[in-house]
Amino acid sequence: MGALSPAKTPARANGRDTAPTRVVAAVAVLAVVGTLAACSGADGMSDASYDEGIAYDDSVAPEQWRDVPTDDQEEYDDSPEQTFQDVTTSPLSTFASDVDTASYSNLRRQLRQGVAPEGVRIEELVNYFDYDYPTPEPGAEDPFTVTTQVARSPWSPDHQLAMIGVQATAATGTSRGNNIVFLLDVSGSMDEPNKLPLLADSFELLVEQLDEDDTVSIVTYAGSDQVLADSVPGDRRDELVGILRELQAGGSTGGAQGLQTAYELAAENFVEGGNNRVILATDGDFNVGPSTPEQLTDLIEEHARSGVYISVLGFGMGNLKDNTMEAIADHGNGNYAYIDTLDEARKVLVDEFDLTMFVVAQDLKVQVEFNPATVAQYRLLGYDNRRLEDEEFDDDTKDAGDVGAGHEVTAFYELVPAREGAQVDDLDYQDVESGQSSDFLTVHVRYKQPGAGTSTEAVFPARASVFTTRPTSDFRFASAVVEFALAVTGSPHAEDASATRARERAEAALGEDVYGLRSEFVGLIDTYQEIAG
């Protein structure tokens, strides 16, 4: 898979930095799932809830699939997938970057519990996995590289697939410490094994990574909010862990006031040049005070402009408000992940801490210009609620996704090749008759340096050399993830998408699979096929 050099700055490919150690079983989503826990009162949690070896999940055997109804209290965004676009009338495709991966671990949770998959977002499934993209050279003008590869579409042999990968630098750009506020939902609905006990154990993993240069504040909320710690040095781990161990669940859910308090603490302890962040952990939605996505995102956007970002971590099931959680992360310059196991917590909060916490490019937008000489039609696979109007690409007031140190952003386009005699437009490829230009497309990336108000654009042409009849294992595996998602969602634009074919291709493209994540995906397809009949 060839790296594309920016039109303004040539770059050489080098080996991709690997993340710190991960747990082999870690397989759920990295990103950040969260909204604000819902619910009704419950009894306090006993200390026994934290006993060693406690089971966090309530999995359902495959044969019980049809006996487990989908919980109608869960809510998901239903943004429609993109249809095929004609290059002659719509030569540009624009979307905001998205590093969330909550949909993957939530899908895994649903399959393990015998619940029909909902909230399947293609880009989050694809972005859950690592790919071998080249990293930026030291001192490179842009903090990322762009890689493109084109091959035949497995589910539509007459079509092609274009895989576009953006790889951010692993350099964090700051060593001034972390100012982190834990915002923890302790309402009554959190009194379940896979909620508050898992939450406490997860944050203990994070605490173990901090030191004297970091400060931690802890805010809990139920019917009201409470400050349990204010700017405690990160090396006072016993004190912080002790607070986590004493958490008990009970009461209603007034998350908006908790958010306000958490942001105020983050502002009071703000570290110039450091990582200032609220980490929200919850199981559902607000039921006291402001609760609609619009009310919550207005509150979040106001504070995001101050330089305090947010990460959202979701726990449990039953009242998951996926749509609200994603909105909070998107509007708060943050990310969204779903924690269904302690291994996933380790993946998100330990192994990929830098990816989650340290931003290297803000408001990163991608605009792809298609060459009508080679592409007649296209459609973006995924990013259904992240698509932008073409004119918003140059609008620096339009919010987009932030990318953390070492993050990857991968997108797929399904292409219908052009035929001879096709008409052309007048962008970069004007005056080109069909068949005379072999370029597929040009990738334009616009982003802001952290804290900057104006954006910079980098341009990456994709020449004929990006097409291959022998795609890399990364391409084959990622395209299998896409095909599985299309099959699970019953996409009307990919009727031939097959979970069976996706499984065969994924299993043949595991690569080194050091942490076993790709192998687990193959196992998830097996589970889906068993329970779906």
The domain spanning residue 97 has which CATH number? 2.60.40.1230
Q: pLDDT digits over 443-481, tens only?
A: 999 999 988 889 999 999 999 999 999 999 999 999 999
CA-nearest of 376, 527, 410, 446 to 122 is: 410
Are 167 and 207 in a shared domain?
A: no
Are 340 and 367 in a shared domain?
A: no
> Which structure tokens are listed for 424?
């052309």
pLDDT of residue 436: 61
- Residue that finishes a domain, picked among 307, 338, 357: 357
Q: pLDDT digits over 410-424, tens only?
A: 999 999 999 854 444
Q: What would the mean pLDDT of 425-432 be, rounded to a whole number?
A: 51
Are 158 and 263 in a shared domain?
A: no
pLDDT of residue 331: 86
Q: Taking 70 as the threshold, does the pLDDT of residue 24 lie above it? A: no
Q: What would the mean pLDDT of 224-249 be, rounded to a whole number?
A: 95
Q: Which range has highest mean pLDDT (43-57, 58-72, 133-147, 273-287)? A: 133-147
Q: What would the mean pLDDT of 278-295 be, rounded to a whole number?
A: 71
Q: Taking 60 as the threshold, does the pLDDT of residue 82 lie above it? A: yes
pLDDT of residue 56: 64
pLDDT of residue 8: 39
Are 214 and 128 in a shared domain?
A: no
Q: Taking 50 as the threshold, does the pLDDT of residue 31 lie above it? A: no
d(CA 309, CA 329): 9
Q: Which residue has the higher pLDDT, 392 or 192?
A: 392
> Which structure tokens are listed for 437?
């230009």
Whether residue 468 lies inside any domain: the answer is yes
Whether residue 55 lies inside any domain: the answer is no
What pTM, to 2 d.p., does this model score? Answer: 0.83
Are 382 and 416 in a shared domain?
A: yes
Are 352 and 364 in a shared domain?
A: no
d(CA 511, CA 508): 8
> Which structure tokens are listed for 170?
């692993």
d(CA 483, CA 509): 14
d(CA 53, CA 149): 45
Q: Taking 70 as the threshold, does the pLDDT of residue 132 lie above it? A: yes
Q: Taking 70 as the threshold, does the pLDDT of residue 145 lie above it? A: yes
Are 242 and 110 in a shared domain?
A: no
Whether residue 123 lies inside any domain: the answer is yes
Average pLDDT, whole number, for the chain?
Answer: 83
Whether residue 325 lies inside any domain: the answer is yes
pLDDT of residue 6: 44
Cβ neighbors of 106 (< 8 A, separation 6 or more) are: 29, 33, 119, 314, 320, 322, 338, 340
- Residue that finishes a domain, picked among 357, 381, 398: 357
Whether residue 505 lies inside any domain: the answer is no
CATH number of the CATH domain containing 297: 3.40.50.410
pLDDT of residue 255: 76
Q: What would the mean pLDDT of 93-107 be, rounded to a whole number?
A: 94
pLDDT of residue 139: 85
Whether residue 254 lies inside any domain: the answer is yes
pLDDT of residue 478: 98
Q: What are the CA-CA distances from residue 328 to residues 121, 198, 232, 356 (Å)?
A: 17, 22, 26, 15
Which amino acid makes up residue 255?
Answer: G
Q: What would the mean pLDDT of 361-381 be, rounded to a whole number?
A: 97
When mean pLDDT is compared across 112-116, 256-260, 294-298, 469-473, the lowest value belongs to: 294-298
Are 398 and 319 in a shared domain?
A: no
Are 166 and 184 in a shared domain?
A: no
Whether residue 386 contacts residue 340, with contact meaning beta carbons closer than 8 Å, is answered with no
Q: What would the mean pLDDT of 495-519 be, rounded to a whole number?
A: 95
Q: Which residue has the higher pLDDT, 271 or 324?
A: 271
Whether residue 79 lies inside any domain: the answer is no
Q: pLDDT digits over 329-359, tens only?
A: 888 888 999 999 999 999 999 998 878 788 8
CA end-to-end span of the chain: 37
Are 191 and 337 in a shared domain?
A: yes
When mean pLDDT is compared across 80-84, 118-122, 425-429, 476-480, the lowest value belongs to: 425-429
Range list of H helices, 432-472: none
Q: Taking 80 as the threshold, does the pLDDT of residue 2 lie above it? A: no
- Residue that finishes a domain, picked among 335, 357, 379: 357
Q: Taking 70 as the threshold, does the pLDDT of residue 175 lie above it? A: no
Cβ neighbors of 521 (< 8 A, separation 6 or more) are: 27, 129, 481, 506
Q: Taking 80 as the threshold, does the pLDDT of residue 51 lie above it? A: no
Look up the domain containing 261 and give its range. Answer: 178-357
Whether residue 109 lies inside any domain: the answer is yes
Are 218 and 326 in a shared domain?
A: yes
Q: What would the mean pLDDT of 270-281 be, rounded to a whole number?
A: 91
Q: What would the mean pLDDT of 6-25 be, rounded to a whole number?
A: 35
Domains contained in the chain, number: 2
Extract the runs of DSSP E, i.e. beta strands, from 3-113: 3-4, 85-86, 92-96
Are 149 and 222 in a shared domain?
A: no
Residues found in the chain: 533
Q: Taking 60 as the threshold, does the pLDDT of residue 427 lie above it? A: no
